[in-house]
């Protein structure tokens, strides 16, 4: 009723179009790994879900990734700029990204270089429900949970803080 493959060190699949299949004896074929040219791709339920190109680019829902990692739900018809192609998120309508954090943590995006890992930052603080923006490694702008916009170099009690009631 069951089957397995056991090797001592390596499993080789060869031929002109090698295929590795995973089957469930109750429900049939579940997943397939194939080589096409120099690409390796994976199918689940008879649809390609992931492709690794010979150049190292990875496509999820995309067989010709436009960046190092391309996650595609539907075709937008757009392309990417060479200076921003490490991560590509694509859909034909709304496209989004979610950063999930703990209720007392922070979610952020850091902009770094060889001299500083967080030279620029966009951060949401869950403990306090505010968002702040950093440039040159310092907080420069904050949006409070009340919708107030705070501008300045420090947000404790520093006199350089400028508060505006923009809502």
Q: 118 or 162, which is more confident?
A: 118
pLDDT of 109 above 90: yes
Percent of the chain whose pLDDT exceeds 70: 87
Query: Of the given ranges (18-22, 68-72, 94-98), which has the lowest mean pLDDT?
Result: 18-22
Whole-angstrom distance, CA of residue 119 vs CA of residue 137: 5
3-state secondary structure string, 71-129? EECCCCCCCCCHHHCCEEEECCCCCCCCCCCCCCCEEEEEEEECCEEEEEEEEEECCCC
Token representation of residue 1: 């009723």
Give the pLDDT confidence of 40-60 residue by residue, as tens digits. Answer: 999 998 899 999 999 999 999
Whole-angstrom distance, CA of residue 123 vs CA of residue 64: 33
Full-model pTM: 0.77
Q: Which of 10, 56, 14, 55 is nearest to 35 (CA)?
A: 14
pLDDT of 158 above 50: no
């Amino acid at each position: 009723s069951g089957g397995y493959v056991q090797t001592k060190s390596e499993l080789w699949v060869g031929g002109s179009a090698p295929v590795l299949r995973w089957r469930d004896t109750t429900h049939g074929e579940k997943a397939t790994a194939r080589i096409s040219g120099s690409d390796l791709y994976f199918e689940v339920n008879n649809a390609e879900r992931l492709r690794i190109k010979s150049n190292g680019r990875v496509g999820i829902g995309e067989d010709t990734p436009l960046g190092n990692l391309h996650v595609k739900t539907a075709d937008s018809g757009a392309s990417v700029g060479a200076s921003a192609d490490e991560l590509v998120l694509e859909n034909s309508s709304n496209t989004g990204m979610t950063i999930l954090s703990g209720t007392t943590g922070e979610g952020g995006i850091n902009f770094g270089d060889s001299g500083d890992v967080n030279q620029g930052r966009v951060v949401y603080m869950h403990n306090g429900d505010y968002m702040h923006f950093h440039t040159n490694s310092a907080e420069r702008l904050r949006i409070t949970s009340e919708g107030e916009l705070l501008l300045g170099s420090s947000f404790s009690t520093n006199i350089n803080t400028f508060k505006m009631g923009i809502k």
